[in-house]
Amino acid sequence: MRRTLLTVLAAGVPLAAALWVPTASAETANTASAPLGCRSLPVKAPAGTKVESVTVVSHAAGTVDVPPVTPLPGAQIPDVPAFCDVTVTLTHPGQGDHAKVRVWLPLNNWNGRLQTIGGQAYAAGDYGVSLAAAVKNGYAAATTDAGVGTYIDTSWALTGEGKVDRALLKNFASRSEHEAAVVAKDVIDGFYSRPASYAYFNGCSTGGRQGYMEAQRYPDDYDGILANAPAINWDEFEVATLWPQVVMNNEKTYPTSCEFKTFTDAAVKACDPLDGVKDGLVNDPARCDFDPRRLIGTKVVCDGKELTITAADAAVVRKIWDGPRTASGKKLWSGVPIGADLSALAGVTPPDANGNVKGAPFPVPAAWVQTWVQKQPSSDLTKITYSDFTRLFKQSEAEYDKIIGTDDPDLSAFRKSGGKLLSWHGQADQYIPAQGTVKYRKQVEQELGGAKKVNDFYRLFLAPGTAHCGLNNGSGAAADDLGALRTWVEKGKAPRTLPATLINADGKSVTRDLCSYPSVSRYDGHGDPAVASSFRCVLPSRH
C-alpha cells in the first residue's frame, strides 16, 4: 500500500495500490492537559475568501477507512487515536470555486504541532492515509483539495468555453495551500484554546512543489517545510516528461521494458565504480557517460521470447537519457537519469493482434500538454514532431511559469522569517529529474550569497539509486526526514547528513549518510560498502 502513487499511474502496467506516506518522527510530546470533545467551531475566512460551511465529525479510536480514489483502491489505517474531523469549505466570491480544508484534531495526546500534508499528481491534498499517519504520531493534521480534481482527474482545467480556468489553476498552484495554513491554525487555536507551537508542511512530488511555493510566496506560514522530489519548474519539466514518447513516435521504435532494463542495468554496472566503490549505486548519474550503442546486437529474453537490441533501440535510449533538445541541438531540459526506470515515461501499449505496439504516455504530462498547453484534451500526442515539441515547451514556459513554475530563487523572506526548508531527491527519479532541483538550489545560492549562507535555512540531500518519492514508501528505503527537520527547527541543530537506508541495484539494503548538498559521499577506501560508516562527505572539486 505504500509505493508511490506515480508508479501506479505509469501507462502500460497494471494499477496497484500506491500511496506516499510521510515519515513520522519518533520524538513526541504530550501537551494536551485533558480529553477534548468534538464541537462546532467558528472559523475566520482567510483574506479574499468566504467560508461557505463548517462541518465537524467525531471519529472514535480505531481503524480509519480511506475510500478508493481513482486510480487507487481504498485503504485501512489501524490504531488511529480518536480525533475530530473539521472540514471548512471556502470560496473566492465571484469565482465559483469550492475548496475544502480538512483539519484532523487528536482528542488526546496532541503534541502541540500542526502538520499539513501536500498532494500528488493533480490532487492538491491527501484523502486520509497521510492524515491518519500524522494523527497517529500526535499531530493536528491538515490538507486541502483546492477545489480541483483527484490524482488524474483534470476535468476542472477548462471552462465550458474551452478556456483555462485561471481561478482553479491559481488554487492548485498556490493560494489554496496558503489558505489551508491560515484555516488550520485558526481551527487549532479555537479547538485547543492555544495556537500550535510549531507548524510543519510535509509533501513529495506535487506536495514538494507546494512546499517550495509556500517558502517563496508565503514565508510566514510554516516553521519547517519538508519538500521532497519537488515538482518545481512545473511548466518546463512537465512538458519535458513527454519527451520519451515524442522520441519513440518520431523514431518509430518502441523498445520493450525488458530491453530498457537491459540498458539501465548495463549503465549502472559501468558507472557504479565512479565514486570509488562497487556498491550497486550510482552516486552521480550526470557523470555517467555510458554509450547505449555498446549493447547493439545483445540478445534479451523477454516473456520467453528472444529479442535482439538494435541500433534504433540504442538511438531511442540515447535521446531519452540526453533529454529534450531543439531541432538545432539546444538543450531544453534534463533527460531521464541513468539508473532510473526508462519504461515509466516510455510506456507502450500491449501488442495488438499483429504484434504492433504504440506509445502509452504517462497521464500527468499527457494531461498537461493536451489540456493546459494545447487546450484540446483529446488531441493526438502521437503526432507531435520534434519541432512541435520545442514550440509546446516554449509555450508552456510563456503561459504558466509565473503561476505554477515555483522556481523563484529569492527565499530571503523565508530566511528572515526563521523558516527551515529540507528536501531530498532521488537520483534515480524516473519522473522528475533531480537536476532540476539542483539547478534551483544553485540559483538560490547565486541569489542569496553562496552555499554556506543558504545552508543556514535550506538543505538539499540527494539519494543515490532512489526512485520518485522512493524513501519512506514501503519499499525498504527510508530516512527520518521529518525528525531531522524538527530537530533543526526546534533545537537549532542543522542536519549535516540524513541517515538513510537505500536499496541498491541488487535489491539489497545498504545504509548511507546522505550528504548535505553540495557535499557528496565518497568511500573511504576500506570497510563494508554496505555500511554508512565506510563513507564520508566531501566537497566535489568541480563545484
Mind telling me the catalytic residues? Answer: 205, 429, 468
Cα 524 to Cα 141, 276, 277, 517, 527: the distances in Å are 42, 9, 9, 19, 8
Q: What is the 3-state secondary structure (H, E, C) of 321-344?
A: HHCCECCCCCECCCCCCCCCCHHH
Q: How far is residue 496 from each of residues 275, 447, 484, measured CA to CA in Å?
A: 20, 22, 10
C-alpha triplet 192, 197, 200: angle, nearest 5°: 110
The dihedral over CA atoms of 530, 535, 541, 542, expressed in degrees to the nearest 10, equals 30
Q: Within a 10 A sphere around the Cβ of 62, how many other Cβ atoms? A: 12
What is the rounded CA–CA span in Å between residue 6 and residue 139?
26
Cα dihedral sign for 119, 121, 285, 472? positive
Instruction: Tell me how far apart the alpha carbons of residues 67 and 87 are, in angstroms, rounded to a whole number.
Output: 17
What is the distance between the terminal CA atoms of the chain, rounded to a whole angstrom? 40
Distances (CA, A) of 230 to 85, 217, 261, 302, 434: 28, 16, 26, 34, 9
Contact partners, residue 123, CB within 8 Å, separation at least 6: 69, 145, 148, 149, 150, 151, 206
Could you give the angle at which helices 176-192 and 206-217 cross, rounded to 10 degrees? 80
Residue 215 is given by DSSP the state: H
For residue 423, the tally of other CB atoms under 10 A from its CB is 26
